[in-house]
Amino acid sequence: MLAPGAVIGIVGGGQLGRMIALAAARLGYRCHVLAPERDSPAAQVTDLATVAAYDDEAALDRFAAAVDVVTMEFENLPVEALARLARTRPVHPLPAVLAICQDRREEKAFLARLGAPIAPYAIVEDAQSLEPALAALGRPAILKSARFGYDGKGQARIAAGGSVAKAWATTPAPCVLEGWIDFEREISVITARGPDGASASYVPVENRHRDGILVQTIAPAPIPADLARQAQALAERIAAGLDLVGLLAVEMFVTRDRRLLVNELAPRPHNSGHWTIDACAVSQFEQLVRAVCGLPLGDPGRFADAVMDNLLGNEVERWPAILAEPGARLHLYGKGEIRPGRKLGHVTRIIRNG
């Protein structure tokens, strides 16, 4: 158990790192951010920062020497860099977890071994193997780049009669081809797991997307209570299978016949958990701090329902109106440049119960 006053190393300087650092400060911890960007959102809220490339070995060694434990705010990092840090400091989650979650081929294989329900899929290493995979899975289907995809990037839908060549040209190889799922809604469960194997899960939430980017989260998801319990149990089983310490977000489809299918895993705080800052006694970010420092996990229960909306691109310019709105809770990320689709903040609106 790391006592308050210890230094938590955060690899990555985005808004998730920023909110981790803010939660850690409330519990008396300091955070040291490693990121290649100057004035990153996370570095703005701590006086400890290393500005260096993630594969800069000398910088990694200096960073490790300056912290007591290491976590990360996104998974598309060089596994070798995390492995180097793990030689001298505890790293949560383990580099092996990142190796699984940053490659859809490894992720699908892991979920299949675990017996978790997933959509039918095929590995597509080159253009020649795409047509046989389509013949096996049928159309429509979704072609997804195996690595470095996020917010809908690196994905293409192949419809009946659609161009296979066009889909292949826009999706970096290697890929995973997924059979089409006629789903009712998309949900996610964020579960925390401590070094002792203790777990705590937030309620499943419904996620709504536009152009592949999350735009709204509704907490809790409007699904039957028994299905919500199944989703939480499934997330906890996956976290245990990974031997994860920290947070795991499990994105799932709810099919029209009320089955769950796991879509993707994220071993870190997740956009769909931002509502927990304002509607729970212990946010997902505090829960991560508790897990990686070996503290008891907090109660994930909510004291209110909530709706969280991302502020994408020019939507952030609504901040004066949002501040004037009773009950709206605004969070801005300190990013200077406004670009279409860029996540610049979010607003949570509390729905009082009773």
What does the alpha-carbon distance between residue 342 and residue 335 come to, in Å, rounded to a whole number? 9
CA-based nearest residue to 304, from 280, 323, 336: 280
Question: In this predicted structure, what is the pLDDT of residue 151?
Answer: 66
In the predicted model, is pLDDT for residue 284 greater than 90? Answer: yes
Q: Are 269 and 73 in contact (CB under 8 A)?
A: yes
Q: Check: pTM over 0.85? Answer yes or no.
A: yes
| pLDDT confidence of residue 354 | 44
All CATH 3.30.470.20 domain ranges of the chain, comma separated, are 183-351
Mean pLDDT taken over the chain: 95
Q: pLDDT tens-digit profile of 157-206?
A: 999 888 888 889 888 889 999 999 989 999 999 999 999 999 999 999 99
> Could you count the other beta carbons within 10 Å of the beta carbon of residue 204?
29
Residue-wise DSSP of 157-206: EE-TT--HHHHHHTSPSSEEEEE---EEEEEEEEEEE-TTS-EEEPPPEE
Report CA-CA distances (Å) from 55 to 12, 71, 88: 12, 16, 16
Which CATH code, of 3.40.50.300, 3.30.1490.20, 1.10.10.10, 3.40.50.2300, is assigned to 120-179? 3.30.1490.20
The string of pLDDT tens digits covering residues 293-309 is 999 999 999 999 999 99
Residue 136 is predicted with a pLDDT of 94
Q: So what's the pLDDT on residue 152?
A: 66
Tell me what pLDDT residue 32 has.
98
Asked whether residue 316 carries a pLDDT value surpassing 90, the answer given is yes
In the chain, ranges of CATH 3.30.1490.20 domains: 120-179
| Strands annotated E in 257-339 | 260-266, 305-312, 328-332
> For 198-249, what is each residue's pLDDT tens digit?
999 999 999 999 988 999 999 999 999 999 999 999 999 999 999 999 999 9
Least confident range from 51-65, 131-145, 225-239: namely 131-145
Q: What is the CB neighbour count within 10 angstroms for residue 44?
A: 15
CB under 8 Å to 82, separation ≥6 — which residues? 11, 70, 72, 91, 95, 98
Six token digits for residue 294: 């070996």
Pairwise CA distance, residues 29 & 8, whole Å: 7
pLDDT band at 352 (very low <50, low <70, confident <90, very high): confident
Which pLDDT band, with edges at 50, 70 and 90, does 148 fall under?
Answer: confident
Nearest CA to 261 among 345, 163, 182?
Answer: 182
Measured between alpha carbons, how far is 116 from 110 in angstroms, rounded to an integer?
9
Instruction: Report the number of secondary-structure helices (H) and strands (E) in the chain.
Output: 11, 17
- pLDDT reading at 68 higher than 60: yes
CATH code for residues 183-351: 3.30.470.20
User: CA–CA separation, 126 vs 131, rounded Å?
Assistant: 10
Q: Does domain 7-91 have CATH number 3.40.50.20?
A: yes
* Residue ranges of the chain that CATH labels 3.40.50.20: 7-91
Query: What pLDDT, on the 0 to 100 scale, is given for residue 153?
Result: 76
Q: How far is CA 158 from the centre of its chain?
A: 26
Residue 272 DSSP code: G
